[in-house]
Chain A
Amino acid sequence: MKMELVNLSKKFGDVYAVKNVSLAAEDGELVALLGPSGCGKTTTLLSIAGVYRPTEGEILFNGLCVNKMQPKERDIGMVFQSYALYPHMNAYQNIVFSLVLRKRPKDEMERAAKRVSEMLGIGHLLKRKAAELSGGQQQRVALARALIKEPKLLLFDEPLSNLDARLRLSMREEIKRLQVQLGITSIYVTHDQVEAMTMADRVAVMHDGELLAYVPPEELHERPRTEFIATFIGSPSMNLADVTVDNTGGSAHAVLKNGVSVKIPKERLPRMPQRGNAVRLGIRPEDVSVVAERSADVQARVTFVESLGRENLVVCDVGGQRIQCLTGPGQKPPLDSTVGLKLDMSRAHYFDPESQVSLLWEN
């Protein structure tokens, strides 16, 4: 089913929790709503579910406006962060509750429950109460409860954030596998960018109730449209430096505050901002490498080194400008030493310092 939001807004009192959000999820697509806590993701999701009534705008299911429909008429399944299993019922009763409400015959309920619980590997747990299940098992029961209705749209509200790291990884895979296998259009709310990037077909980045970008994950990482997205996506986050672009004499250079200039490849030359030639250069830590001083672009002093396991995070100071880079194992320069840095300028980004939009990618 195709789900569309058209200029959706939701106000609580005088404050906009969601502001003018428009996006469309195609049939079978998994769309991630990504953003920091409090940016309006849950509000958006609950509006789609019909729990909240939008203040303005429309929600369309297959082109049909569902604003006035009750949640139960919308053919949706939802999985909550807190699982929200009914504590006084056992797993089986939880799973079939929606069918009980629809007064389905008993054998149909049993067949449906068997189908979804086998799909999720919880067949042996059906007699247990919610409190007698582990977090991962509760989440599976919650998922089964959402799936038994054979919904046209699945809504997830940070379903994995209460699980431990390893379980989160395997549940992530499993949810994605099920979603693809069943082909159910899904909206997946998360504040974890890795989750969004690995699971989603398209990622909607939200900030303060507004939709900043709605693109496939690779594009979000490789072609960020604004400075906020560039720094929000990727960890450790992108380095930013104020530079001026010197485009005289055949080849272009980015000139740092301390006068050091780095050559910009022709195919990566940014548009110039409206006024002046000052731009903000962005470069990801993985595109900066520590090299021998003679082949380096800039000289830098090491101020901090942190081991991230496989890699090391080296924080350097380039004439007052802080630059982070990732180095391979074993490459761990001592504190306060001077090293050479090579910037992979073919992967650099440029932003307008005033409007903060990208000078490389069209909006």
Chain B
Amino acid sequence: MIKRDALLKPLPLVSIAILSIPIFVGYLWVFMRTFTTRMYGMSPVGELTLRNWTFIVTDPLLWHLTLNTFVLAMGLTVGIVLVSCSAAYPLSRMSFPGRKGFLALTLVLHAFPSVVLLIAIFVVLNYLSRVPLIGRGLPLIGGVGYNTLGGVILVSIAFLLPLGVWLMKGFFDNISWDLERAALIDGCSRFRTWRQILVPQIRPGIAALGIFAFMHGWSSFIIPYTFMVDQQTAVISTYLNLLASGEQLMDYGVVSAVALFQLVPILAFYVFTQKYLLTIFGGGMKGGT
């Protein structure tokens, strides 16, 4: 019996390793391709070169795109954390008409394929563009209308909100009522209790949601692709798409290098924050309606 257990234990690891091989091979290919002029199957047959990577110093556009991508990811992160935390509190703690229905609705929306909504959202963003001041012409994000970074951030936040709200509600549900009552008796207002007593308790949840949102925003494609027409000046993922589908012959070396370039920050980010990210799955999801 003991022997069989010892044999079974590494089984999950082994199966994950086997299933990951195709993905791993793919990344390996991309990695090698960036340092050579030609590949034959998995072997670099061309000469070794750094030419594919020269864009890092020669191409100012890419750095502009990186900034855009960063702004999108950060905007999504800050937005989702702020809105989720404030919305989850009343949903967890107060009883008001429509609360249950609202929770159910957000869950349904989360399950809804977002692609279906793209055209409707286009109409909304287009309308927003015509609103003076906020529609266009804001610094950094450009505005919140169609073909602006802000518009893309707005839509991304909306799509991620159901997840964020439910997640944060789970964290709020786990805080004891007595803590809130103690604060109330000590003289806190409801808002201050939320900000000074409760939010500090759900910091791990905020970190997890924030990291998740950042990675989501960094690598998102379909929303920036749809709502930012000038894809040259959009974000890295749309630029990659442009490179891979342009009229000129596709240069696999450059595409691979740009793809890796996009991947590096997210990998580094993941290594430093995976501890927090895991709390989403451990403990955060507890608590009902």
Contact = CB atoms under 8 A, between A and B. Distances in A.
Given A82-B176, A87-B201, A88-B200, A49 B185 contact: yes
A76 interface: yes
Contact of B181 (A51, A77, A86, A87): A51
Interface in A100-133: 101-102
Nearest to A142: B182
A97 interface: yes
Contacts of A98: 186-187
B178 A97 contact: no
A71 interface: yes
Contacts of A87: 200-201
Interface residues of B, number: 15
A315 B178 CA distance: 43
Given A87-B201, A88-B200, A102 B181 contact: no
Contact of A86 (B179, B185, B187, B192): B179
Contact of A72 (B179, B187, B197): B187
Contacts of B181: 46, 49, 51, 78, 80, 84
Interface string B195-211: 00100110000000000
B186 A51 contact: no
A98 B188 CA distance: 8
B183 interface: yes
Contacts of A85: 182
B78 interface: no
B185 A72 contact: yes
A102 B201 CA distance: 23
A84 B184 contact: no
Contacts of B185: 49-51, 71-72, 76-78
Contacts of A145: 182, 186
A16 to B, nearest CB: 18
Interface in B127-185: 176, 178-179, 181-185
Nearest to B182: A84
A76 B185 CA distance: 7
A84 B179 contact: yes
Contacts of B197: 86
Interface string A65-92: 0000001100011101110111110000
Nearest to A49: B185
A315 B176 CA distance: 44
Nearest to B179: A84
Contacts of A50: 185
Contact of A101 (B176, B182, B186, B200): B186
A110 to B, nearest CB: 18
Contacts of A72: 184-188
> Of A77, A81, A84, which is in contact with the most chain B CB atoms at under 10 Å from its CB?
A84
B176 A84 contact: yes
B187 A51 contact: no
Contacts of A102: 187
A51 B176 contact: no
Nearest to B178: A84
A46 B182 CA distance: 11
B193 to A, nearest CB: 10
A102 B189 CA distance: 12
A94 to B, nearest CB: 9
A51 B184 contact: yes
B188 A80 contact: no
A358 to B, nearest CB: 38
A97 B186 contact: yes
Contacts of B186: 72, 97-98, 101, 145
A71 B201 CA distance: 23
A69 to B, nearest CB: 12
Nearest to A77: B185
Contacts of B178: 80-82, 84
B183 A86 contact: yes
> Of B178, B179, B183, B186, which is in contact with the most chain A CB atoms at under 10 Å from its CB?
B186
Nearest to A148: B186
Contacts of A81: 178
A162 B260 CA distance: 56
Contacts of B184: 51, 71-72
A221 to B, nearest CB: 32
A46 to B, nearest CB: 7
Contacts of A76: 185
Nearest to B199: A88
Given A80-B178, A86-B197, 10 more contacts: A51-B181, A71-B184, A80-B181, A82-B176, A84-B176, A84-B182, A85-B182, A88-B200, A102-B187, A145-B186
8 contacts: A49-B185, A51-B184, A71-B184, A71-B187, A77-B185, A78-B181, A101-B187, A145-B182
